Each structure stands twice: as C-alpha cells, then as structure tokens.
Structure 1
C-alpha cells in the first residue's frame, strides 16, 4: 500500500508499506536422522538439547513445505523538496524486518540443509530466524545543485552529494568474508548430531553459569572473566542473557557513506541535431578521503566466541577476543575516485 502527497512549497511525500506472509515455505529435511523423544545432551545447567540418531550413513535430503511463521514487512518514507529550478533535495527512510525458516543461500539441497538454517535443536525442527540480508534501517539522502552558463547556456554543471546509511558489515563464515546486515552467534561444532552446521549458542544468564577449563596457559577463571567482559560489551549478547541466540539475531553497526558526483556537460548541435559531451567525477566514500577513520565498514571478530568440549563438559574462550567489531581492511572501506567521459548524440 502506498500514499503520495503534494504539499505547499514544493514538498512531495510518499509513504509505502509492504507486508508479505509465507504459508508452508519450501524447507530442507534430512530423512536419514530421527529423534527418539528421549536422548538429549546437557551443555550447561540451563542448556539441554535434543540428540538425533540415524537410520543409515548416507544422508537423504528432502525438499518439503513446513511452517507458517515466515514474513517480510517494510515501511518506506520519502520526502522531496524542490527549492528552485537549480536546487533540490530528498531523504528516504526505510524500516524492514523479515523472519524465515531457511536463508535460501544455495540452490543445492544439501547446502540448503547444512548451512541455511543454524539451529538450537536441529534443522528438521524448522526454527524461525531473521533474514541476514535485510537491513533493519536504511537512510538515503541526496542534495543536488545544477546551473548553466556560457553563450546560450551551452555549459552545465551538476553536483550531487549522496548519503547512504545502513546497518551493514562483514563476517567470516570460515570460507570467506560476506557482507550482511545480520549474523548468528554459534558454537564451535554441531552437538545435536543432525549432520548440519554448528548449533546456535546459548547465552548464559550469569558469569558463573558455564564451566570453563584451562587452555593454553590461561586459567579457567581468567577465561570466565574475559568471556563475561565480552558479553557485557556486546550489544546483542548483553541484552539476551539466559536465552539461545537467535539465527541472525545480532545486527551489524551503522555504516555511514557520503559520495560526491560532479558532472560537467557541453551542449551543441550538428545539423540541428543535439549533441553533448559529458565529463564526470565520482568520489565514492569521500569522507574516507578526508580521514582514514571515517566511512569504514566493520567486521565481526568472531561468531564462535565459545568452544564446547564434550569430553570434559566444559568450555574454553579465546581471551584475545575483547571487542565484537574491528575495522574491515578492504577496498570497500576506502575511497574511490572514478572519471568518466561520455558523448551523446
């Protein structure tokens, strides 16, 4: 549903809302595994999960329909203002949210099962989670100025300042870095035996809830203290103590980017046919050109902060992990300057 308004003083406002509901979406099952209704594993005092058995060694993946909780919703607000024939501005705000059973990140059924839906109690449970490709908030703004000069105004200059702000960053899933708006906190392995990827992490309610063991000359108490400091500084973990981490429940920090576009044009005619030469200059992430600390994407330092050791029923924590995010050292975090030349006829 959308509504457009034209207001005095050359204001234009557009409001759009979208809601989509999926009934019985496509999901991947593994028919080789089954739960007998009794077998469990206790990873800590308040973390008890199902454990699966298998009919055979080989997997039998099955595409089926299940669940009805998947949805997508968004609200978009756009405001435009034309100050005069040379100067205009616009700002666009979008709120989006989506929950799905499977991320649908692959066209292969095995990959869809293995990596598309990290879970607490097994992929066959079809647990609902957030979509990692949906940024909860995004702001786009543009300020444009244009003017013509010279004999018969054959020369023209167009200048645009563009702002793009959203919750977007990078994480490493073990095979490489990926851009996303959301990410999951996982354990170091799969402990429910459903033959899928690592399970979602349980976030302890108190500092003393988990049992730690000494690791690499770091005592259990030192790891406990370091892990709790990590939890407290993390905006997602600190707000969800005593809960299982939701799939893609954690959100990336805001990324702010300013771009400048300058276009110079020369208009003329040949045999009464309009012609135009254009020279353009684009500076992508211009604030990074001014200061290297600005306009950077952030990367999640670890999505597997805890390692569970089944043989000792205890955890270890890498005490080098002190902060959730660090600067993403890549071309995407730096400025770019692009020149272009066009001839229109």
Structure 2
C-alpha cells in the first residue's frame, strides 16, 4: 500500500497494531516501526486474570445467566422496572456482556451490583433461574474494584488524546496498584497476583522501546519519574541522545529558555479524574524527592570541595535558589 500511494518508509513514524503474530511479522518484514495497541494488551491482561480464579468465574457465569433471563423475558424486565421505581432506583437495564471484550463483563458486573437490592426482592417474590450468594455478591464487588482502573485506562488509551508517552507511566502505576496489599484483597488475592504477573509479561519490553521511552522522557508531566530504575531512566536518556545525533543538521540552541522550566502543556478538558490519580502523584512525588536529595548532596559536596569558607546560610541560599 505504501508503494501504491507513493509513500516513502521514512515518512512513517509508527504503525499501531494489535498483538497478533501475523501483524508483528508483517511490520518486521516491511521494516516498519510499530507499537502494540495498549487497549488490546490490557484486554489480554484482564482475560488472564478473570480466568485464573474459579470462584470469580463461577460468580460471573451466574450473573450472566441472570442477565440472560431478563433479556429473554419482557415480563421479567417489566417487573424489574416497576420495582426500580418503587425503591427509588433509576430505571436502568442490565448490561449483557460479550465474550470478545472483557470490558463487557465489567459493565455487566457493574449493572448487577447497582441492581443488587432490586434483584434480591425479585428473587424472593418471583424467583430467578439462579441466584448469587452473599459471598458471591461480595466477590463481584471486589472484582469490580480490581478491574475499575483497567476500564479507566482502556478508555483513556482509546481517546483522541492518547499518546505513546502515557504507556510507561500507566504500566508503572498499574504494577504499583496490583502489588500493594490492602484489606480488600481477601477473596481476590490470587486474581490480583495473576493480573500483576500478566502486566509484567505483556508490557515487559516497553522501557526498551525508544518510541515509548523517548516520548515519556520528553513529556513534561512524566520526565524520568516513572521508569522502574535509574538504569532504565539512563537508558532512555541514551536513546534520546542517539536520536538527536541522527537528526539532520544542528539542533537549534535556545539559550534564552530556562531548561528547568519546560513549556506548559495544555490540559485536556475532557479528561476526568481517575481512581489511580493518587498513585500517579505518589510515584512522581517520591521520584522528585529522591532527585532533590541527590541534587542537594552533590551541590553541598561541590561547594565544600571548592571553598570551605561557605556558611550554612549561604549554602541554603544556593540550594534554595
């Protein structure tokens, strides 16, 4: 197609593809740079997690049977809508999931949990083809909380504002979220561990890919804060240096600009707050604190080595200014 339309390969920055082996081979054979679809990779991660815990899979199967009952019975849905009005709940239909996308299962569980009270009343008065036990309801609520960050990130990865710079921070935040132990882990600990392992495996090469690393490093929101180690951050800087050396001509030197103050990035007005915002801030704050400590230590040593006559007040002024 590139030959047909007269497009040189040098004009192709990157091709976005899914994780299928034939697509990977096609891009390699064509010698085109390519990246995997992050939303598709997240889908593969969640599929591994959902299938890993039998109790969760059984609860989801019962939920699917309950939703199917209302989908195939106009009378049952009429009763559900009437009951929703009686108990002052919004009249909402149950969401049917599809096997091709995990987010359909997420929305199905979400709709079931929202209608838990109404479904309980209907089960006692008219009966249902199957019912969820109290333990299974609790399990579904925990699965919902565990998968909510994946749903949020998948939506953001599919938005018009998604960029390659978001991938490494998302992987770091997901890994922190999945490896942090909480009191809510009981019942989903196995699934949480499987999801963490799947994130590590599916996104194992993102930090070695210059397209991801350089984009993240140059993004003023992220810089080097979300790399898993100092070595990974150093490798990203080396990738950036090599990329600059490949640029034709000399890079314009803008000496009037303060390198410590990158240009402000225009915020995206439609980006809502996320349940992972606190973890993003946590990682960024820890990294920034470590960078300041390293800078202060180096500055103090440099001052002391060059001139022992600096007073404590002068040292603090230099570091603060």
How high is the TM-score relative to the length of structure 1? 0.23
Structure richer in helix, relative to its length: 2
Structure richer in strand, relative to its length: 1
